[in-house]
A and B are shown apart, each in its own frame.
Chain A
């Protein structure tokens, strides 16, 4: 009766006979009688055909306005980019899709070599010496970096830039309650200047790390070198967070500016929007800190015949070996999303990534110039890559809803991200990638002008 269950009733009878059980219930004898369900749970539907399930799911899918159906300008930690068709084809190969964590390396070289390539790509992109085999997402990678800085510096005060994604701040605040870390946090101001000078001024001898997003939540780009120097002068670490890795095709990597740990959200490359997950956390650091790194690592070695091969390594840091002494609670990585990232990055290559970044920036510049001409709109940023903030002069959140009703997904209102922060409620963060056309920009500008009038 079920297309995914191969046993026939004849099989079941024969197998019960081999086992020596009279019925299937005999195999559940250890369940206390009071807890045994006598039949399928009431009020839940019975099995359904592919066709019926597809109908139901399609109906739900149609209740969403998908990005491709409207001029689309949302970012703030998740970006819409074109993903080449071959990426999705390749990650659906069953040998990748339906494999487990590569604990038997002799028959998992495909996944392992891919992870080794991924680690190298990520390290080069972030400008770090090494990178791990991926984390759950950018927000959890960011928190793990703060914990890693505590272990390295043996200090527990982390200073978080106001430009750090507020969800990332929330995750860190939540976790810090249980680990004894103290966090200094703030919210951004609607200005062209970042808080880098204030961050430098607040570093002291108790500071484990400064966490700064690059480009930041408002899209601003700041030189990290002075911040890195200030951190190092006090023996603190600089953690840089990149939520839009395509930017690193156009601007210097945080590693180049001497950041100690660089984490990121890799979703932009190869992984679609998917309403927020699954995504892929990027995590790189300087060589000297590798043994304090969380998460899985793939390393090169040789087999018994001297051939090059790859294995998961340094697992003595991890929970399945170290139990309560593990460096982190993280267990899974984001393997299939890392594969998508790696394939897309291979298709792009150095030349393609730089070109893609250039197109993003050029299109964002066009959009910023056009939108700044809308009466009542002020462009907040002096610097940006493919995302910038507009001050609309009135609360942005209801305008975003109104614009959505008119078929334009205009951006992310800061009121949504910073509830209760009156000074930010006029802010609208607009992301412009290669998927945005000149017509889309014109549609947004026109609609914005009309709703602001």
Chain B
């Protein structure tokens, strides 16, 4: 049996439609169409050689697999070509500016990749005897020390797998601390309306009830409204600082003091830590827990959607409740791994375990490499250049696009604009899609929700002035076309591998796995 019975051949629908610009293959020079592996592979081909030998199963308990699995194989050259072709249909930081607000798309240094691949890190098993993995535990411990110092906090839980997982870690610490105090009845978590969607999702998952706190006209938390809501039923406040409008929450210390006085805790969403690393320590602002996205501030690659890593720093009040496992450096220099076995004596209040093994070790190695490369001085420069770049974008474009909070002072690491003033029928998405044609990834669109048609631009510190100037010029040009009612924007992008995709169709009739087209098997037989 072959899997490729669909009769696929490398032509696109337009290929045969004629016209001067059509090609036989559907390819356009370097823009190469690529079929699915199920359409080009078969069940005989393999790209891996194995020695011949006796492979008869004998201990499988009568459960030997008989039915075909349906996995297509390709030889190595075909595999390399398939994935190389696919890769070329992606935009990436390596190709250009990626100003996705709140995502901190900075350059990913290749030294990080090289270090993570040293066999001493890449080829060690999480359950090896601890004496054989002192270097790996050393990486975790050294990174933990840096994160604690940079945030001015008391401890850090290293195991959370991603930002949202780190949020959950922090909220579970808060829950455990409240229960230990006999105040498990505190159920309300206050969340500013500009918060990331993960914040309310996390609070709800941890069994809390979420209440929104409004924002002021200048894009910050309404401190008075927040203070007024504090009371004996409030467990915590979840706040993002710098916030999702790209502004520093000036009142955070005062808010923290009021929250603590009311017997609650402060969770800080650390997604935007890049703006303040080395210049402000969240611990000095009264924060009790904050996750750090290593894939944002500390340059571990986003990889097309993960893996992330979300170590969560904790205040003295919350550190005893942090999850297992963690590392501890002993007096003799030996690094101990505190797991379920030893936690009873050393860490009796832990809320439990969030994941198998020790967290995202491969990301720890990369983040530590990045941190050591920058050092304390370089990290401070990171924050300064990130903020400088964002303000440069803000001030360069505020005469072109509505910048709702520009009046109130400088922004932090991201600049926010709205679609105010666009003619009827034009919105942020049209500008964003036209930016694709200009060779840029669009900014974050329609978030935060408190700004109409929000465009959130985060250039990061790894962009040169020349790159920023080109982006500013492109955005000014595109915004000008939108203001002028240029209809061609409505069908942008025109030069991308695909034009606008029908997301409604995808959701209405989900096709989540490839299925052989009906009738092809019979036709082939």
Contact = CB atoms under 8 A, between A and B. Distances in A.
B197 A274 contact: no
Nearest to B411: A27
Residue among B59, B89, B248 with the highest chain A CB neighbour number at 10 A: B59
A185 to B, nearest CB: 13
Given A124-B69, A301-B501, A35 B284 contact: yes
A338 B12 CA distance: 27
Residue among A62, A78, A324 with the highest chain B CB neighbour number at 10 A: A324
Contacts of B497: 106-107, 109
Interface in B365-387: 365, 368-369, 372-382, 384-385, 387
Contact of A27 (B50, B387, B436): B387
Interface string B54-70: 11111111111111111
Which 10 A-B pairs give the minimum distances between C-beta atoms? A349-B73, A358-B55, A276-B357, A61-B120, A174-B352, A336-B303, A94-B94, A63-B135, A276-B126, A319-B201
20 contacts: A1-B377, A4-B109, A15-B392, A18-B395, A28-B387, A35-B281, A40-B377, A65-B132, A66-B123, A78-B125, A93-B87, A98-B92, A110-B304, A117-B38, A123-B513, A275-B361, A299-B510, A353-B69, A416-B127, A417-B127
Interface string A327-345: 0111111111101000101
Contacts of B120: 58, 60-64, 66
B87 A95 contact: yes
A329 B80 contact: no
A78 B357 contact: yes
A355 to B, nearest CB: 5
A124 B38 CA distance: 12
B162 A62 contact: no
A272 B122 contact: yes
A276 B50 contact: no
Contacts of B462: 4-6
Given A121-B71, A351-B45, A34 B123 contact: no
Interface string A348-369: 1111111110110110110010
B161 A409 contact: no
B203 A412 contact: no
B328 interface: no
Contacts of A313: 503, 506-507, 510, 512
A385 B496 contact: no
Interface in A46-66: 46-48, 50, 52-54, 56-66
Interface string B24-55: 00000000001011100111111110110111
Interface stretch (A204-212, A243-251, A441-449): A243-251
Given A346-B74, A352-B73, A329 B168 contact: yes
A323 interface: yes
A177 interface: yes
A353 B92 CA distance: 32
B175 interface: yes
B334 to A, nearest CB: 11
Given A2-B378, A349-B46, A110 B90 contact: yes
Contact of B303 (A3, A57, A99, A352): A99
Given A100-B98, A303-B500, A353-B71, A251 B60 contact: yes
B500 A274 contact: no
Give the interface size class of chain B. 35 or more
B496 A252 contact: no
Interface string B152-184: 000000000111110110001001000000000
B354 interface: yes
A139 B308 CA distance: 16
Given A5-B385, A174-B172, 12 more contacts: A29-B410, A63-B134, A74-B127, A107-B90, A109-B497, A137-B355, A275-B136, A314-B507, A328-B201, A328-B205, A332-B308, A358-B56
B121 A61 contact: yes
Contacts of B38: 117, 120
Contacts of B359: 276-277
Given A7-B385, A48-B372, A136-B165, A67 B125 contact: yes
Contacts of B225: none
A248 B67 CA distance: 11
A359 B55 contact: yes
B498 interface: yes
Contacts of A198: none
Contact of A104 (B71, B253, B302, B441): B441
Interface string B1-30: 001000000001110000000000000000
B477 interface: no
A12 to B, nearest CB: 6
Contacts of A301: 501-503, 505-506, 511
Contacts of A383: 59-61, 63
A310 B198 CA distance: 25
A113 interface: yes
A355 B55 CA distance: 8
B115 interface: yes
A90 interface: yes
Contacts of A131: 512-513
B285 interface: yes
Residue among B58, B131, B374 with the highest chain A CB neighbour number at 10 A: B374
A45 B279 contact: no
B70 A124 contact: yes
Interface stretch (A154-162, A165-173, A226-234): A165-173
A80 interface: yes
A101 interface: yes
B172 A138 contact: no
Contact of A412 (B63, B127, B250): B127
Residue among A31, A45, A52, A313 with the highest chain B CB neighbour number at 10 A: A31
A251 B126 contact: no
Residue among B38, B307, B369, B464 with the highest chain A CB neighbour number at 10 A: B307
B358 interface: yes
A149 interface: no
A111 B91 CA distance: 10
A296 interface: yes
A46 B375 contact: yes
Contacts of B305: 100-102, 111, 115, 133, 296, 332-333, 335
Interface stretch (B99-107, B260-268, B417-425): B99-107
Nearest to B207: A178
Given A64-B120, A300-B506, A301-B502, A86 B80 contact: yes
B513 A130 contact: yes
A329 B74 contact: no
B347 interface: no
Contacts of A362: 53-56
Contacts of A99: 90-93, 302-304
Contacts of B165: 136, 140, 329-330
A348 B48 contact: yes
A63 B384 contact: no
A424 interface: no
B488 to A, nearest CB: 13
Contact of A37 (B167, B280, B352, B353): B280
A184 interface: no
Interface string B72-97: 11101001101110111111111100
A370 interface: no
A195 interface: no
Contact of A44 (B72, B197, B375): B375
A20 interface: yes
Interface string A262-293: 00010000001111111010000000001000
Contacts of B197: 319-323, 326
A48 B465 contact: no
B278 interface: yes
A305 B13 contact: yes
A16 B436 CA distance: 29
Contacts of A109: 86, 89-90, 497-498
A222 interface: yes
B398 to A, nearest CB: 11
